[in-house]
Each structure stands twice: as C-alpha cells, then as structure tokens.
C-alpha cells in the first residue's frame, strides 16, 4: 500500500457547508487548508434550509451572496416566513411564526432559504477559486495523531493510504464525527426524544391547498398527539417539492408504515402526492464536553447535534467555523497563542448549551405544556384566549436568539457576564456582542470599512487614543484598522466614544468614559483576562 504525504496549515475533515465555509474563511486570510470529504457526490435530500441574517453576513464576506440567492428555489418574498397551526395543517387556528424580518435591521445582510445540497454546490464552486484550498473527495479518514507541533491525519482514497500533516486539524464531519471518536471526546446528552421520519415528496395538490396561507414556506403543526414534538412541513420549491419531519412509533421502517396516511392525517385532508425519499433519525440533543483536543478541534454537528428546530443547525456550525478561523489565523501568523485557541471552546460551548436549553428544549416543553393545558374541545374560550396570546408573542425564537460572548475571557466586559444564546437585539454597542449596522453620516456601509483584523471605531475624534491603539497594535503585531467618525448621532446610537471590533464582527471592548490603557485592551483581546 502506497503512502504519500502532503503538508498544509490546516486539515479540515468534512466537506459539507461547515468544512467548506471554514476553508473559504481561512483562504481569505491566506491560510492553506486540505479538505477531506468522504462522499463523492452531493446528497440531494433537502435539509438545513433556514439560513439567518448572520449567516448572510458570512456569505457577503465570502463573496457568495449573489450565487446563494440564485441557487435558492424559494423567492425572496417567501423568505423564512412560517406559520404555526393547531391540530392539523388545514386548521382554523394558526398564526404567523419565525418572521426573521423582525431582526433584519440588526444585521448587514438578508436571510436566505435553500437546501443544503444547493448551498454545498455554491461553496464548492467558490472553493475552486482559491489556490489555498485543496479539496479531496472520496477521502475516508482512519487516523488522527499529533505531536507538540503537528497533526497527522491518515486517510484512504482509491485504495491508497495517505498521510497528511498540518499545524492544526478541524473535524467538521457531522453528528457521527469520526474525528471526535478518534479524539475520544465524550458528549453530554441533554435530551432524547422519539424516532423521527423525514419524508421528501412532490405534490402540486398540497401547494394548491395551502393557498390559504400565502407567502409561507415553513409550517409547524402543533399536534396534541405528538407530546410536544413537531410535525414540520417545508417547501423545497414552489413547484410542488416538500419535506416533512414527524415523530413515528419506535420500530417504524419504510415497509411497515403508511406514510401517505401520516401526511393526510397531518394535513387534515387527502391529497395526491409522490414520495421520493424516506429516512429516519433519532431526536436527540447532544453537546461535546470539549471542542478541542490539543491541535485538533471540532466544529458544527461534530460538536453539537440537535433536531432541525428553529434553523439552529447549519447556522450554528458556520458560526463555529468563523469563530475558529480567525483565531487559527492569528496563531499561525504569530500574533496570538494558546489562550486564543482555548477561547474557541470557551465562547462556543456555552452558546450552544444555551441554544439547547433556552430554545430547542424550551420549545418542546412549551408545546407540550400548551397542548396539555388547552384544547378547543375542552374549553374553547380559554383555548382561544391562550392561542391569541401565543400569536402575539411567539416570535421570541427569532427576536431573543442572540448568541454572544459577554462572558468570554478575551472580551473586556463587566464582571459576572455569562455567554449564551439569549439576548435582546439592539444597535447599542455591547462588549461580546455582534456589531449592528449604524446609520453612518456619509451613507457609507460600515461593514465595507471593517479591516481583516481588529477594527477600532473612533467616534469622537480623539487622535491620541487612536494613536495609542495603533502604536500598541504595531508593537504586538496585531493587524488593526482605525476608522475615525466624529459624529454625535453615531455616538448616541452606539452609546460610546470608541469600540474595538474583532475579525468576526463581534465587539471586544467598548469605551464610554475615563482613561484608556490601549495595550491592556489589546492584550485581553488576544490573550485573555
């Protein structure tokens, strides 16, 4: 058996959206990567469709926004607009749900909706633009070894055993991550639920039935018989393509269950349909105890697996990748060290733990409590009152989902802050939070002015403070861009005189008043408190 060797900066195990997104982000920073993907073909099963505005910001940075929009099978006016119905899909009780438009003003990009395999097509075309990326398909990883200075990844391809070496490796190889297994990283099980079925089908008749809900692309059926779990229907396109998730009895297989009857029962009406695919998955929520083992990291579903509720999957994975990318770059270029790499898990682990507890598990329990407490056939008046209250308040999964790193060791925030996924959207600048778009006086898009490294936004014309940051950054080797905008409205909007933005567009420091130690601020931003 032939053994070959190749050397890169980073080896990425897994060529799905997260692995390719990581490779693209690294390449734009000049970091070379080898991406090893086991599959040789894209899987045409629609999943991972809900893409947030924050993910849209990544698309913008990676130069794929237009390609993503063209690849979408759903017109922009549908977006991610959804609806919740009670009992059956064709119910008298329903309300609008998951309106991402409510938080659009806090981000520099729009949300999108498209199947994961089409997103992967876009990413693969973009990967081909970078000499820094080597993308190998049909590569089955069988070993991961490391020394104090290198990682060695063994993989088989076309019957030949290969060995690749790099400074670091990242496992982006899904919920059944081989990388995580080889590293011996254990998972926390937060929630275990029923066996689930995924049914992909075509039906123009259903498209016509749902004319009653114009402009909707996702449908969440609150069926009292499902014990709090969703029956979830989504459009693949506007030409009769659909996917459907539902709990099914234990032991259900393709040959022993009537899936057409399940769909008709869910809808509350019979309709013509052709089933194209049936798959199964176990509803469970798990979280890796650690995101790092030496020089090897894990990202995306390799860190956290969960049901496709709320669109947290691919979006969370891409945010993992972007958090890790700039830190690997900083260490490879020598202006940061181990503390920076440790901050990846310190920031991302509590964010998903909060996502799991505060949103996914909360959503399941909330549904369970509601169908237990209220039913129109028991007390119609009480049910309708409670239902109407939900209709007014049930966008919290959008409006309150705000991943942040306020408790991060590399963020200069107030003592006692805790990182998580729940928060309140606001433009006001807060350490550890995402930078929101402000109204810039000359109409310039602030996003386009941000540097590839850190960016100091100087808002009251203090030349000495700006010079202190530039001098300290130069001594420490930190890439720093200074933007000077002396504008009272902007100071009022952000609520501060200056702020420091990280390469991932999160704020690491906010200055309101007092004296400033620029060297200390920068040191915390790369080495921790």
Residue finishing a domain among 284, 319, 346:
284
pLDDT of residue 351: 97
Residue-wise pLDDT for 314-372, tens only, equals 999 999 999 999 999 999 999 999 999 999 999 999 999 999 999 999 989 999 999 99
Domain range for 470 is 426-527
Query: Which residues make Cβ contacts (< 8 Å) with residue 26, sequence separation at least 6?
Result: 9, 10, 32, 33, 132, 325, 328, 329
The H or E element containing residue 277 is: strand 274-288
pLDDT of residue 393: 76
Q: What is the CATH classification number for the domain harbouring 43?
A: 3.50.50.60
Residue-wise pLDDT for 54-68, tens only, equals 999 999 999 999 999
Mean pLDDT (whole number) for 143-164:
95
In a domain, 249, yes or no: yes
Does 11 share its domain with 56? yes
In a domain, 308, yes or no: yes
User: If you search the block for the tokens 């009022």, which residue do you land on?
Assistant: 492
Quick check: 280 and 268 in contact, CB under 8 A?
A: no
Residue-wise pLDDT for 442-453, tens only, equals 778 899 999 999
pLDDT class of 394 with cuts at 50, 70, 90: low
In a domain, 104, yes or no: no
In a domain, 401, yes or no: no
Does 126 share its domain with 235? no
pLDDT class of 48 with cuts at 50, 70, 90: low
Does 126 share its domain with 271? no
In a domain, 132, yes or no: yes
Does 467 share its domain with 328? no
In a domain, 332, yes or no: yes
Number of helices (H) and strands (E), helices first, in the chain? 15, 24
In the predicted structure, residue 528 carries a pLDDT above the cut 80:
yes
Distance separating alpha carbons of residues 221 and 367, to the nearest angstrom:
10
Mean pLDDT (whole number) for 209-234:
92
Total domains in the fold of the chain: 3
Does 433 share its domain with 458? yes
Residue finishing a domain among 338, 357, 379:
338
Closest CA to 23 of 41, 14, 35, 5: 35
In a domain, 10, yes or no: yes
Quick check: 209 and 240 in contact, CB under 8 A?
A: no
Quick check: 318 and 55 in contact, CB under 8 A?
A: yes
Does 20 share its domain with 155? yes
Does 137 share its domain with 204? no
pLDDT of residue 274: 97
Quick check: 405 and 322 in contact, CB under 8 A?
A: no
In a domain, 506, yes or no: yes
Q: What is the CATH classification number for the domain harbouring 206?
A: 3.30.9.10
In the predicted structure, residue 167 carries a pLDDT above the cut 90:
yes
Question: Within a 10 A sphere around the Cβ of 73, how many other Cβ atoms?
Answer: 18
Percent of the chain with pLDDT over 70: 98
Backbone angles phi, psi at 224, to 5 degrees: -60, -20
Q: What is the CATH classification number for the domain harbouring 479?
A: 3.40.30.120
Mean pLDDT (whole number) for 131-139:
97
């Amino acid at each position: 058996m032939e053994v070959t060797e190749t050397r890169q900066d980073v080896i990425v195990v897994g060529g799905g959206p997260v692995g390719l997104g990581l490779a693209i982000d690294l390449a734009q920073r000049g970091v070379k990567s080898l991406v090893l993907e086991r599959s040789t073909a894209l899987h045409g099963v629609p999943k991972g469709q809900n893409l947030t505005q924050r993910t849209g910001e990544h698309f913008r940075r990676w130069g794929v926004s237009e390609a993503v929009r063209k690849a979408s099978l759903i017109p922009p006016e549908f977006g991610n607009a959804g609806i919740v119905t009670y009992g059956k899909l064709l119910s008298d009780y329903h309300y609008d749900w998951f309106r991402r438009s409510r938080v659009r003003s806090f981000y520099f990009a729009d949300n999108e909706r498209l199947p994961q395999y089409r997103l992967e097509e876009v990413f693969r075309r973009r990967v081909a633009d970078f000499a820094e990326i080597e993308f190998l398909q049909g590569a089955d990883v069988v070993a991961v070894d490391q020394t104090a200075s290198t990682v060695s990844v063994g993989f088989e391809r076309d019957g030949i055993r290969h060995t690749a070496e790099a400074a670091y490796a990242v496992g982006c190889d899904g919920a059944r991550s081989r990388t995580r297994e080889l590293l011996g990283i254990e998972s926390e099980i937060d929630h275990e639920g029923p066996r689930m079925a995924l049914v992909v089908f075509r039906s123009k008749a259903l498209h016509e039935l749902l004319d009653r809900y114009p402009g909707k692309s996702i449908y969440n059926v609150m069926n009292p018989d499902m014990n709090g779990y969703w029956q979830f229907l989504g459009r693949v396109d506007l030409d009769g393509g659909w996917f459907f998730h539902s709990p099914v009895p234990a032991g259900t297989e393709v040959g022993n269950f009537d899936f057409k009857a399940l769909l008709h029962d869910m809808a509350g009406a019979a309709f013509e349909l052709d089933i194209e695919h049936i798959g199964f998955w176990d509803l469970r929520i798990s979280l890796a105890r650690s995101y790092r083992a030496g020089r090897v990291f894990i990202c995306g579903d390799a860190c956290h697996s969960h049901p496709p509720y709320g669109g947290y999957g691919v979006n969370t994975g891409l945010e993992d990748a972007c958090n890790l990318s700039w830190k690997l770059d900083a260490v490879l270029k020598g202006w940061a060290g181990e503390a920076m790499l440790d901050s990846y898990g310190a920031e991302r682990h509590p964010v998903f733990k909060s996502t799991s507890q505060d949103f996914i598990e909360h959503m399941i329990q909330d549904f369970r409590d509601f169908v237990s407490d209220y039913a129109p056939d028991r007390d119609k008046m009480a049910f309708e009152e409670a239902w109407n209250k939900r209709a007014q308040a049930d966008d919290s999964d959008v409006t309150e989902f705000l991943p942040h790193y306020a408790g991060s060791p590399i963020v200069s925030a107030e003592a006692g802050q805790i990182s998580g996924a729940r928060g309140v959207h606001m433009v006001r600048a807060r350490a550890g939070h995402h930078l929101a778009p402000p109204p810039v006086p000359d109409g310039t898009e602030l996003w386009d002015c941000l540097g590839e490294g850190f960016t100091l936004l100087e808002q009251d014309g203090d030349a000495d403070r700006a010079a202190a940051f530039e001098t300290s950054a130069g001594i420490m080797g930190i890439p720093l861009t200074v933007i000077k905008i002396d504008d009272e409205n902007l100071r009022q909007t952000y609520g501060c005189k200056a702020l420091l933005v990280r390469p991932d567009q999160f704020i690491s420091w906010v200055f309101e008043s007092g004296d400033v130690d620029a060297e200390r601020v920068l040191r915390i931003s790369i080495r921790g408190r």
